Amino acid sequence: MWYVPITRDNPLRTQRSLAALKQEVEHRVQAGEMPVAGMALEDARDALGAIDSLERDAWSQAFSDRADRWLERAASLQALSADDAREAFRRAWRLFAFARWPTENTPFKRYTYPRALAAFRNYGRLLDSPLEMVSIPFRNETIVGYLRLPHAPRPAPLVLGISGLDSRKEDVMVLSQAYIEQGLALFAVDMPGTGEAPVGLDGDAEGMFAAILDYFAARADLDATRVVVQGRSWSSYWAARLAVTEHERVRGAVVHGGPIHEYFQPRWLAPSLDSPEYLYDYLPATAALFNAATLDELLERAPRFSLVDAGLVGRPAAPMLLVNGARDSQVPIGDLTLLRDRGGARDAWINPAGGHMGRSPDGPAKRILDEVIMPWIINQLSSD
């Protein structure tokens, strides 16, 4: 039985040596790849230079220390230049966000996460068309989300963006300008079982998303008849579910590299947790999502989330855009083809050279968003 490492003394779960891991992080920063997309190279090199082990909190501390310097700079800039202060808060958030990545499984990571939230919210309030913090009552809890509206039109069509396994709603919202420029509102929320989500993977997630859609309908500045759900990696599972369960209330769903059926089977899931596409700690992050203490427990719990076994594949659904790479080592490409062939999805884009989420050197994340996903979203939201 493999026990998931959860104490601060455990090393990162990675196939790379310390030197190779540092090199990979620097490469991903330069290429603009997750989980360090948007990080400045000088910030990454400064933090990496302070790390001399694979211990989790050594990594978290190094990036957090660099973030603290940007936080101090942001505070001193607020009275001088809103633009410079905004960028300093963004750089602080980017570093804090990596410091707590991929899951908050040590005391220091749990300390760092609220600092990432605070830095991002200070960044958001300084945007043109500022970030709106949204609190939606749900059962005895609160759904916390971010909303950003374009200056026009009103009411605005809307994209419901759900963060993934290791990303958070801040990672969704930091890309909001691309939506604003198209006249689209963007609402970002943490996926169930992550971040500030009020429910876990086994909780009333359907009810959580229903409450969000109800909230949209109650706002005069949002057009609740024109909503697209956008999933990212794991959260595309929820996008696919909502395409079925809320097909009368959403115009479409982007299922971007998400698990459907085969992913949840032990024969795929167990070996995939050692995927070199994932930087480190894929097993602990996945185990945290499933609230599992061991690999055996994770593999036992996963199959019941299959959308095929739930009877949702093949039912009436809103239009879906399916996106992934044929070489994805985290989520099987068979899950995309299953939805395409049996789920009624009419639109699919597969990068034959792409890995997870279809990304490749010739097909980076931004190009996929700009050339594949955004045009589809616009088309779904502009039709009568």
The pLDDT tens digits for 345-371 are 789 999 999 999 999 999 999 999 999
Q: Look up residue 121 and give its amino acid.
A: R
Chain mean position to CA 346: 25
Q: Is the pLDDT of residue 233 over 70?
A: yes
User: Torsions phi, psi of 260, nearest 5?
Assistant: -125, -55
By three-state DSSP, how is residue 325 classified? strand
Q: How far apart are the first and last CA of the chain?
A: 55
Q: Which H or E run includes 240?
A: helix 236-245
Residue 383: band (very low, low, confident or very high) from pLDDT cuts 50, 70, 90 = low
Span 79-105, mean pLDDT?
97
**pLDDT tens figures, 115-169:** 999 999 999 999 999 999 999 999 999 999 999 999 999 999 999 999 999 999 9
Domains of the chain and CATH, by start: 15-126 (1.20.1440), 130-384 (3.40.50.1820)
Q: Does this model's pTM top 0.85?
A: yes
